[in-house]
């Protein structure tokens, strides 16, 4: 498992914890050999990406960019894609939703990884399935209280 982190912003982030969360989520989803990139970016950068790829000129918390599926070659990790997180937005949301910064970052990372693995929330049934999976994974990793603030309204990506 290879988890690559690029940190291009000013807020202090526990990168080792993010790696542990990513590995945990992937193992819970039955992925044992994969490569994942995590980018931590400023509000300006995530706003630019959000405008460019989603047509929304606003800062968001997390974006996922899936690598085009290709044939899996034995011995070579599966390339999943990139999860881009804005810690500044995560910090504000942690306060708003009564979570720790680490829990919010864990939620955003989990959400982004699940998108890369095919989960979505465009339809109510899909949203319920994704929320339930996020709750299960985060509760197991952090403890039951960490997943208390998940709702469809939070899943805007």
CA–CA dist 146, 140 (Å, integer): 9
The SS3 of residue 76 is coil
What domains does the chain contain, in order, with CATH numbers? 2-154 (3.40.390.30)
Report the predicted TM-score, pTM, of the whole model to 2 decimal places.
0.88
Percent of the chain with pLDDT over 90: 62
97, 122, 111, 108: CA torsion to nearest 10: -40
User: Cβ(61)–Cβ(40) under 8 Å?
Assistant: no
Over range 114-127, report the average pLDDT: 87
User: Cβ(33)–Cβ(73) under 8 Å?
Assistant: no
**pLDDT tens by residue, 12-71:** 999 999 999 999 999 999 998 899 999 999 999 999 999 999 999 999 999 999 987 655
Give 55's contacts (C-beta < 8 A, 6+ positions apart).
Answer: none
- Mean pLDDT in the chain? 87
């Amino acid at each position: 498992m290879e988890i690559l982190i690029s940190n291009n912003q000013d807020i202090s982030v526990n990168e080792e914890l993010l790696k542990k969360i990513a590995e945990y989520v992937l193992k819970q989803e039955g992925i044992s050999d994969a490569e994942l990139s995590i980018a931590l970016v400023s509000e300006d950068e995530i706003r630019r990406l959000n405008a460019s790829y989603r047509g929304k000129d606003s800062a968001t918390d997390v974006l996922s960019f899936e690598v085009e599926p290709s044939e899996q070659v034995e011995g070579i990790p599966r390339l999943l894609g990139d999860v881009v997180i804005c810690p500044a937005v995560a910090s504000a949301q942690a306060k708003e939703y009564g979570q720790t910064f680490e829990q919010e970052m864990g939620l955003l990372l989990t959400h982004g990884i699940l998108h890369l693995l095919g989960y979505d929330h465009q339809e109510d049934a899909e949203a319920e399935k994704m929320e339930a999976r996020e709750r299960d994974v985060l509760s197991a990793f952090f403890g039951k209280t960490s997943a208390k603030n998940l709702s469809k309204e939070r899943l805007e990506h």
